[in-house]
Amino acid sequence: MSASDDDLQAGGDAKPKVRYWLSQIKKAERDMQRWNKRCDKIRRRYLFESAQENKRRQFQMLWANQEILRPAVYAKCPEPMVQSRFRDGDAIIRITGELLERTMDVQVDLGDFNSSFELMRNDFLLYGRGVVRLRYDPEFEPAEIDDGVGDEPNEQENDADKYKGDEGQAETQPRDELTDPDEDNPSEKIAAEHVKLDFVHRKDLIHPHARNWQELPWVAFRAYLTRDELRKKWPKCADRIVLDCKPGDAEDEAGRRETEDSQEPQATIYEIWDKRNRDVVWIAKSYADVLEEGPPYLKLNGFYPLPKPAYGTLHGQPSSGPRVHHVAGPSR
């Protein structure tokens, strides 16, 4: 491992996989440090934070340009439209397209896609990169359990006759033909399924250098979770995760520091999508073991749960090894 123990917040007893991913994330953050500093400088100029100290008022050219460009780039949420690829006049395909179109229209409204698109547009114009990601959000409700009282004999009772022996005694039914009541009558069932579109802060998307988006080996999303949120997602180990992000450390969508009164201590969590191994890993910055690992829970083209970010420009940057270009924002 190239990273030292001082760079790894999980400590020296961290598992090899946790140490590996923390070192990879640390290296990727160092590679993106120059671009993030440039973005911080642009943000300060846009917010015009020095206006309170200046005695002479100055015209905010950057702010004015942004306000003119924003409605020209994106003004309202697009309307879903589904059409058959082969226009052969099939009535079934036409009706199916209408159903899909109406479903997408409802999902766009329920998921508030417009807010995420606006934030992505603002980052695209200001920093040269805007990022959103997809999130699957199911809703569950208690399932109705059928006690069978007052109903006619079911198929299991009727099928019991074929397992009776010569003396009329019921023989043991083969186990592979038995029905698990928990599978037939689960405690919960899916009531609705939603697809949400979440805005990703520019510092919360971490990836290594690559010549283009298609060659990225992995992508990591950073999130901050409170103790209650940790207990809801990982109840077995939530109380052992250190809340390493103190009030005032995290940034909001505009890049401003949160105040101590508006935020409670949180844990830094990384969700890593490993394209090479077709694996998704969750780790904490201050926890020695892997929180969760498994195959992708979303089956999407391109593997990653986000489309290619909206880039203002892509430029080359010399680096070590054969990777001679990297994905970055514009030079300003």
Distances (CA, A) of 23 to 1, 278, 294: 7, 20, 21
What is the pTM assigned to this prediction? 0.73
Distance, in Å, from the CA atom of 18 to the CA atom of 21, rounded to the nearest integer, reads: 5
Strands (E), 183-217: 188-199, 205-206
Q: Where are the domains of the chain?
A: 6-49+60-67+207-311
pLDDT tens digit at each of 332 positions of the chain: 334 444 445 555 678 999 999 999 999 999 999 989 999 989 988 888 666 666 677 778 888 999 999 999 998 888 888 888 887 778 888 899 899 999 888 888 888 888 999 999 999 999 999 999 988 888 888 877 665 555 555 554 455 454 444 444 444 443 333 334 444 446 778 888 888 889 999 999 999 988 888 889 999 999 999 999 999 999 999 889 988 887 655 554 444 444 444 568 899 999 999 999 999 999 999 899 999 999 998 888 889 999 999 988 776 544 333 333 344 444 33
Distances (CA, A) of 313 to 38, 302, 328: 15, 21, 8
Q: On the CB side of 285, how many CA atoms lie within 13 Å of its CA?
A: 19
As given in the structure block, the two tokens for residue 65 are 């340009």
